[in-house]
Amino acid sequence: MNGVPQSRNLLRNPSTELCKFTDPEIDSLYTCFPPRTIFHPFDDSTKSDSVSPIWVCFPALPFHLGYTYPFPDLTQQFFTLTGISSSQAMPMLWKVLYTVEQIINNEGIDFNLSELSYFYYLVTHGSYQFLFKAKPKPHQPLPILKTTKNDTTWKNQFFFMRRDSIPLGDSLPKKWILKVKNFAYLADLPGTKERIAVFWAIDSTIRTFKPKIKESEVTTSTSCTMSSKYLQIFV
């Protein structure tokens, strides 16, 4: 089975969400993935809700922001716990996760899913695609700032790769979930309030989303964080 499977017909406006992410644009993401990752050639008839036991869909957006694959711990744990496919995650969700990952790396704080659950609900916004909604807290600003700018291209920028050519590929979701798993209970885990206090001590400029490149630009290999060039294989 080499062809990308059919859409599950879950998209609200399928005619406007056909793939426009071409082979040259896929080429620009090579260094964001491990050696010998197998990408499927561009197919302009595919949709992001297409599923397969062999192929898995990824959005281009997280790699434009600065992610590499495999995703770092918090991001991977989030998708594992919720069961959401990465192509179901809307831009705001990716921006929050990316900024938190940068804070963890740069500030050395302990922040995990319990704190994420304390700050955010997980909600759908049509077509079974999900984003974070900040939980209202008296006299508190948003935990992560400037994540809500609309992105008009993300729905068309996705690509497929073989599951057996990437780490954790076989465990990635084989279909979009229609109801997200509840993770609100994590906010009550021991130590959460102490870690949240440490988080609020961080300056707001550090808690502000900052993309690695302009969001309107197509990423190049130099915008990714992995330094080595790898041979990638199309089928």
Whether the CB-CB separation of 228 and 33 falls below 8 Å is answered with no
Region of residue 128 (phi > 0: left; psi between -120 and 50: alpha; otherwise: beta): left
The token pair at 152 is 């008009």
Give the start-to-end residue ranges of the domains of the chain: 35-234
Helices (H) and strands (E) in the chain, counts: 6, 6
Contacts of 181 (CB under 8 A, 6+ apart): 81, 82, 83
- Per residue in 93-132, pLDDT tens? 999 999 999 999 999 999 999 999 999 999 997 899 999 9
- Per residue in 35-81, pLDDT tens? 999 999 999 999 999 988 999 999 999 999 999 999 999 999 999 99
Query: Distance between alpha carbon 124 and the CA centroid of its chain, in Å?
Result: 15
What pTM does this model have?
Answer: 0.89
